[in-house]
């Protein structure tokens, strides 16, 4: 029983340590919604929303715009069109 307690205590301690150390000093904010396309180009979720909500673009023009951002997955493009 003592062995299980030590193992559980050690697991919790190491887990908390990883969270604390991983978050210390990073200071990086505002990049949570930044994505990278297959071609290495960076874009944000807001870029996707802008294209999806642009009523002046046809569906084919939106598909092309998504591909231009580096999105190659056709299923993902179709899902974005459905937003």
The dihedrals phi and psi of 42, each to the nearest 5 degrees, come to -90, 140
Closest CA to 43 of 78, 6, 80: 80
Whether the pLDDT of residue 64 is over 90: the answer is yes
- Listed in sequence order, the residues at least 6 apart from 10 whose beta carbon sits closer than 8 Å to its beta carbon are none
Per-residue pLDDT band for 72 (boundaries 50, 70, 90) equals confident
**Per-residue pLDDT tens over the stretch 6-50:** 555 555 555 555 555 555 555 555 555 667 777 777 888 888 889
Span 49-61, average pLDDT: 94
CA distances (Å), origin 42, targets 20, 39, 61, 72: 29, 9, 20, 14
Residue 17 is predicted with a pLDDT of 53
pTM of the model: 0.57
């Amino acid at each position: 029983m003592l062995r299980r307690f030590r193992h559980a205590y050690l697991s919790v301690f190491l887990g908390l340590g990883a969270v604390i150390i991983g978050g210390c000093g990073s200071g990086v904010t505002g990049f949570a919604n930044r994505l990278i396309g297959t071609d290495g180009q960076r874009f944000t979720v807001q870029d996707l929303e802008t294209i999806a909500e642009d009523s002046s673009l046809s569906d084919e023009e939106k598909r092309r715009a998504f591909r231009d951002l580096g999105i190659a997955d056709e299923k993902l493009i179709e899902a974005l069109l459905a937003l």
